[in-house]
Amino acid sequence: MISGMGFIKPDLNEQPLILELRRTLGRLETALSAISDALVITDDQGMVLWCNRSFDRFIDQPRMLSLGRSILSLLPLDHQGDSLLPEALLTSHPQIPGSTTVLLQRQPLKACEIEWRPVETEQPAPVIFCFRDISTRISNQELQATAERIEQQRQHSDRLNQELQQQQLALANLVRECPVTGLPNRRGLRERLDLALGRLREQGGQIGVLFCDLDHFKDVNDMHGHQVGDELLIEISRRMQEDLPAEATVSRLGGDEFVVLTGPISEDSEAITIARMLQQRISAPWLMHGQGFTPSMSVGITVTNDPDVDAEELLRQADVAMYHAKRSPGESIALHDTSIEARFRSSLRVHQELRLAILNRNLSLAYQPIVCLRGSAAPGHDPDGDATNGVVRILGHEALVRLKPTQGLPIDSEQLIIEAERTGMVLELGSWVISEALRQLQHHPLRPDHWTLAINISPLQLEQEGFAADLLQRLETLAIDPQRLVIELTETRILKEISRGAQTLTTLRHHGVRIHLDDFGTGYASFSWLAKLPIDGIKIDREFIAALGCDSRLERMIASMIRLGLELGLEVVAEGIETNSQRLALLAMGCLRGQGHLFGRPGVLP
Ligand code: C2E
Ligand code: MG
Ligand code: MG
C-alpha cells in the first residue's frame, strides 16, 4: 500500500472494498473501451472518480493509479494549458459546461481539446471531462499560436510542473504490474524479455516464450460476473507460479492471457514440459460460490536462440502458436514453426480477402448440378472411360460461393467459410448468397417442377432472430415457390447447442423449404442429428464416395447410410462422384441422386 497518495498497490490479499472497486472498473472498461476519446469523471474537487481505458493510454498509466488523484496532477501536459483549464479544475467544480485547447507536447507539437460539463446525478455534481487529440485537425499555425500563448503561462506553472514530473516518475515504476494479479504486465514482461535477449547476446543458449490463454474464461465472466472472473485470474496466477523453474517468470498480458518466459533451456521439449506442467497445475477444480469450474488453457510456444530477434516478434510467434493450438481439435499445446506461420498467414490473407470481397461485393455463385443417377450415363469427364453418351436428368443445382481474390492464388471455399464463420462475417456473406440465389430463382421460373436450388447455410445464420420469417417473406414477395429451395446444413458446423436454429428449420420446412444435412458421415454425431433436426435429406460426404472400390469398410458404411436414409424416408444424395463406376456402385446400393465432377463442375447456371 502506498499511503497518502490515494491509490493502492494490489497484492494477493486485497481488501474486499478494493476488489469491489476493481470489479466495477472491469465492467466499465469493457463497455467503454471502444471509445477513443479519453473520459474522466471527477468529484467537485477535481479528484478522479472514474476514467475509461483511453484515458489510461492518454496518461500512460492504469486507472488504479489515477483514482482518487487530482486530475490536474495526472495530465501529461507540457504545462497547464490556457487559463481556463486550471480554473475549471482547481476552483469549485464548473457548473457551466466549457471547453479549451491545451498543448500536450512541444516536439512535435501535439494538442488536445478538453470539454467538461457537470453530471447532474447528485449534489455536489461530479464533472465529466472528455480529452480529444486534435493535432491532426488543426493547422500548424494554430498549434504554434497556441504554443506561444501557452509558453507565456508556462513560467507561472513551473513549480507545479516539477512536482508533476516527480510524481509521474514514481508512478512509472508501478505500471509494470497488473493491478488484479500483481504479476508483471506487458511492460514488465517486455523488460524481462529484453533482459533475457541481452543475456542470449552475451552468453548464447536459448529461451522459450509460452503464450497461455485460458479456455472459456469469457463464459465464467458472462455467467458469474467480473467479480468471479477476477478471483479466478488471481487463483490461476497463483497456480501458475507454483513450482515454476526458478528462472521462469509469469506475466499477465491482460484478459485471460498469461505469458511465461522460461529461463535458459537446451531443448524445445523443455518448454513443452513446462507447458504441460502449467496445464496440469491450473486444471484442479476450482470452487466459487458453490459452483465448480475446471480451468484449462491453450499454450503457444516459441523457442529462440537468436539474440537479435525482437521481443514483440517473440510474443507474436507465441501468440500465433497459441491461436493454432486453440483452433486444432485435440491439441492444446503448439510449438511455433514455419508450417504454423504459413497457416496463420494464409488465414490472415483469407480474412483480408473476405473482408474486401464483402465490402466491394466481389462475390459470385457457381452452380453445380445434382442429377438422377439412374438411367443415364455420364456425359462429363470420366476417368474410367466406361460411360456411354446419354442424357443426364438434372434434379437441381447447388449454389457455391466464390470470391475473386484481389491478388495471387484463388481462395479455397472451405477455408473461406471457416474464416467467415470464425469471424461472424458469414452472416453478411450468407445474406448476399441468399439474395443472389433468390434473384436466380426469380429469373428461372420455367424450370421443370422437380428442379430445386440448394444453398449452403451456416448454423450461425439460423440462430439469427427472424431468419425464417425474413426468408419466407422474401420468397413471397418475389413469388418464388418455397419448394424450389433446399437448405444445406453442414453437419460438422452445427452448433453443439442448436436452439433457435431447430425452430427456424421447422418453420421453413413447414412452408415447403427442404432441409438437407450436408457432408453427412463426417461429424461425430451424424446419426443423432437425424433424430434431433427436422430434415428431408442427407448428402453423403465426398470422402466416403472417394473410397468406393478401395476401402470395403467404408463401402459398407456408405451402404448403411443409404439404407438408413431410405428407411427414414429421406432423400439421399451422394457428393463428389467422379467416375462412372462410383455412380454404378451407388446405384446398386439404392442411392438415386448424386453430384460430382462426373456430371458437371460448379459453373454458370444453364
Ligand atoms: P459442400 O456444400 O459439400 O459443397 C460441395 C463441395 O464439393 C464444393 O466445394 C464442390 O466444388 C466440391 N465438389 C463437387 N463435386 C466434386 C467432385 O466430384 N470431386 C471433388 N473433389 N470435389 C467436388 P467448394 O465449392 O470448394 O465448397 C466447399 C464447401 O464450402 C462447401 O461444401 C460448403 O460447405 C461451403 N460453402 C460453399 N459455398 C457456401 C455458401 O454460400 N455458404 C456457406 N455457409 N457455405 C458454403
Ligand atoms: Mg453443400
Ligand atoms: Mg458437402
CB hemisphere CA count around 517 (13 angstroms)? 27
pLDDT in tens, 130-164: 888 776 665 666 666 666 666 666 555 555 656 65
Cα separation, 185 vs 175, whole angstroms = 8
pLDDT of residue 13: 54
One-letter amino acid for residue 3 of the chain: S
pLDDT in tens, 457-472: 998 898 888 999 999 9
Most confident of 123-132, 220-229, 411-420: 411-420
Cα separation, 38 vs 40, whole angstroms = 7
Quote the mean pLDDT of the chain: 82
Q: Is 458 in the pocket of ligand 1 (CB under 6 A)?
A: yes
* Ligand with smallest separation from the Cα of 429: 1
3 state DSSP class of 471: helix
CA of 486 to the centre of ligand 2 (A): 10
pLDDT in tens, 442-497: 887 678 888 999 999 998 898 888 999 999 999 999 999 999 999 999 877 776 55
One-letter amino acid for residue 427 of the chain: L
User: What crossing angle do the helices spanning 580-589 and 552-567 adopt, rounded to 10°?
Assistant: 50
Mean pLDDT of 268-291: 90
* Ligand with smallest separation from the Cα of 595: 1
Q: Is 397 in the pocket of ligand 1 (CB under 6 A)?
A: no
- 210 grid coordinates: 509460452
Asked if residue 386 has pLDDT above 60, the reply is: no
Cα separation, 604 vs 352, whole angstroms = 26
Cα separation, 149 vs 83, whole angstroms = 10
Cα separation, 560 vs 555, whole angstroms = 9
pLDDT in tens, 391-434: 788 999 999 999 987 877 788 999 999 999 888 899 999 999 99
- Cα of first residue to Cα of last residue in the chain, in angstroms, is 77
CA of 517 to the centre of ligand 3 (A): 9
User: 541-572 burial by CB neighbour count: b if 16+ within 10 A, else e?
Assistant: bbebbbbbeeeeebbeebbebbebbeeeebbb
Which of 248-257, 497-506, 592-601 has the least mean pLDDT?
Answer: 497-506
**Are 187 and 176 contacting, i.e. CB atoms less than 8 angstroms apart?**
yes
Cα separation, 511 vs 513, whole angstroms = 6
* Ligand with smallest separation from the Cα of 490: 1
Q: Is 602 in the pocket of ligand 1 (CB under 6 A)?
A: yes
| Burial class for 312, CB neighbours closer than 10 Å (0-12, 13-18, 19+) | exposed
Task: Report which protein residue has its CA nearest ligand 1's atom 19.
Answer: 576
**Are 90 and 72 contacting, i.e. CB atoms less than 8 angstroms apart?**
yes
Pocket probe for ligand 1: among 382, 417, 426, 489, the residue whose CB has the most ligand atoms within 8 Å is 417
Atom of ligand 1 nearest to the CA of 421: 44
Atom of ligand 1 nearest to the CA of 412: 26
CA of 427 to the centre of ligand 1 (A): 18
Instruction: Kindly report the pTM of this predicted structure.
Output: 0.65
CA of 574 to the centre of ligand 3 (A): 9
pLDDT of residue 70: 81
3 state DSSP class of 14: coil
Q: Is 416 in the pocket of ligand 1 (CB under 6 A)?
A: no
Q: Is 78 in the pocket of ligand 1 (CB under 6 A)?
A: no
Q: What is the 3-state secondary structure (H, E, C) of 394-456?
A: EEEEEEEEEECCCCCCCCCHHHHHHHHHHHCCHHHHHHHHHHHHHHHHHHCCCCCCCCEEEEE
* Rounded alpha-carbon distances, angstroms, from residue 435 to 216, 246, 364, 419: 35, 61, 11, 21
pLDDT in tens, 15-48: 666 666 666 656 656 767 667 788 888 887 788 8
Task: Pick left, alpha or beta for residue 384 (phi over 0 → left; psi -120 to 50 → alpha; otherwise beta).
Answer: alpha
According to DSSP, residue 94 is labeled P
